[in-house]
Amino acid sequence: MKIKYTISLIFIVAVVIIEKENNIISKVSDKLSLKQTPQTPLQTSGSSWVSLHQNGSSVLGLSELDLSSYLKLKWRLWNISEPSKGGKHILLLATTRTGSSFVGEFFNQHGPNMFYLFEPLWHVERMLTLEGGGTSGTALTQVHRDILRQLFLCNFSMLENFINPPPIDHVTTGFFRRESSQSLCSNPVCTPFVKKGYEPYHCRNRRCGPLNLTLASLSCLEREHHAIKSVRIRQLETLRPLAEDPRLDLKVIQLVRDPRAMLASRMVAFANNYKHWKRWMTDEDISEDDNEVRKLKGNCENIRMSAEVGLKQPPWLRGRYMLVRYEDIAMFPMLKAAEMYSFTGIPFTTQVKEWILRNTQASNEVSGVYSTQKNSSQQVEKWRFSMPFKLARMVQKICGPTMDLFGYTFATSEEMLTDKSISLIEERSFL
């Protein structure tokens, strides 16, 4: 026993010493990088926080970057039109209640080589809704695309225009769901905590100062791969310019789910917006002309049209599109995650595997509607026992072509809907 403890102690001491050495080394390299570039001034004001010169004499207003990452960063900023070199840009294209937060974690948990953003386009939608809309679909599509492109290139400046209240000196406490992005809650973006007023979106795992987007941008540039989850892109087709942008190596993963289950889940999660559907559960007949029904139909059509574009594999999208069903992920999370990683060409890390193991075990705890921790296979068929046949039939009517495309079987009677021995999910491979 004693020997074991001694060994552990020695090990800990060794780790502490190595850590210290690392610190010293990185401090030395800071000095080196500063020494090599004596003639340039630091520029830290406005968006020109970096000065760029072709002859190697630029310097960042940053002391925490070590020499090698500094050189890498400098190279990338110099030659911004240089094609992407191995770094992947993953877009998780989903709609609400398709398990996109859960799948987002597959990439969020990847480790220090990944920069992950959770639903950044929320700010755009929010701002335009507050301003009373009036924006045409096309304009919105362009804004979404431009912001996505900039975010993939680690530039937050356009998104900043949509953050409310506006960031001051690129610092904000209002970045939507900051805590859902490890990259925004770990070093170096997690600055020391300062006691301030109420912060709606603070980091959960540790206390951090308000989000400095300049720092986030630098950290983003240092990481090799980038992933963004969004439920706000309606048509895959609109992303064509990103797929063709030589600076990006875009990989789109479209996440779909049985529209009947999606509706059932939304009725619980967004109860206030689904009052009509709730009323239809009991009395009243559903009218296909109702606005809510038309909305669901439009949603299903967008999903189907995007998938049709993707599955056709046009030249601009070849090797850049993957379709994944929620149900397959719920039933085979590890397998599906491995397939996604193989598609993106990024190593499937132990951290991700461990996270999946931890979060797909049975759990009896009620964990909230946004939680990703649930007994996955149980979850898949739950909706069949809460949704009246009447509603299921309506969804089948308005989302029929979408269901056909993804292999979701129609229930032809109340009995069939609630018969556990009949699966409503056909086996399909979209690879």
Ligand X SMILES: *[C@@H]1O[C@H](CO)[C@@H](O)[C@H](O)[C@H]1NC(C)=O
Give the binding site for ligand X (CB under 6 A): 39, 44, 47, 53-55, 57, 61-62, 78-79, 82, 150, 155, 157-158, 169, 171, 212, 214-215, 361-362, 375, 377-378
Give the residue from 391, 111, 405 showing the smallest Cα distance to 265.
Answer: 391
* Residue 214 CB, nearest approach to ligand X (Å): 4
What end-to-end distance do the CA atoms of the chain give, in Å? 53
* Residue 297 CB, nearest approach to ligand X (Å): 32
Summarize the chain as % helix, strand, coil (round to 5).
Answer: 50, 10, 40
Dihedral angle of Cα 26, 31, 37, 39, to the nearest 10 degrees = 150
CA distance linking residue 243 with residue 222, whole number of Å? 22
Place of tokens 């020391």: 192
Place of tokens 């992933």: 227
177 residue type, one letter:
R
Of the two residues 153 and 324, which places its CB atom closer to ligand X in the complex? 153
CA distance linking residue 288 with residue 126, whole number of Å? 29
Of the two residues 2 and 85, which places its CB atom closer to ligand X in the complex? 85
* Residue 192 CB, nearest approach to ligand X (Å): 11
Of the two residues 172 and 230, which places its CB atom closer to ligand X in the complex? 172
* Residue 174 CB, nearest approach to ligand X (Å): 15
Two tokens, residue 127 = 């701002």
CA distance linking residue 363 with residue 347, whole number of Å? 29
* Residue 78 CB, nearest approach to ligand X (Å): 6
Two tokens, residue 233 = 């892109």
* Residue 48 CB, nearest approach to ligand X (Å): 8
* Residue 212 CB, nearest approach to ligand X (Å): 4
Of the two residues 78 and 201, which places its CB atom closer to ligand X in the complex? 78
Two tokens, residue 260 = 């009947």
Of the two residues 95 and 212, which places its CB atom closer to ligand X in the complex? 212
**Nearest-CB residue to ligand X?**
362
Query: Angle CA(399)–CA(403)–CA(409) in degrees, nearest 5?
Result: 120
Of the two residues 342 and 361, which places its CB atom closer to ligand X in the complex? 361
Of the two residues 26 and 235, which places its CB atom closer to ligand X in the complex? 26
Of the two residues 114 and 153, which places its CB atom closer to ligand X in the complex? 153
* Residue 365 CB, nearest approach to ligand X (Å): 13
CA distance linking residue 284 with residue 268, whole number of Å? 20
Give the residue from 120, 108, 180 showing the smallest Cα distance to 147.
Answer: 120
Q: How far is CA 344 from the centre of its chain?
A: 14
Distances (CA, A) of 123 to 39, 369, 370: 40, 21, 19
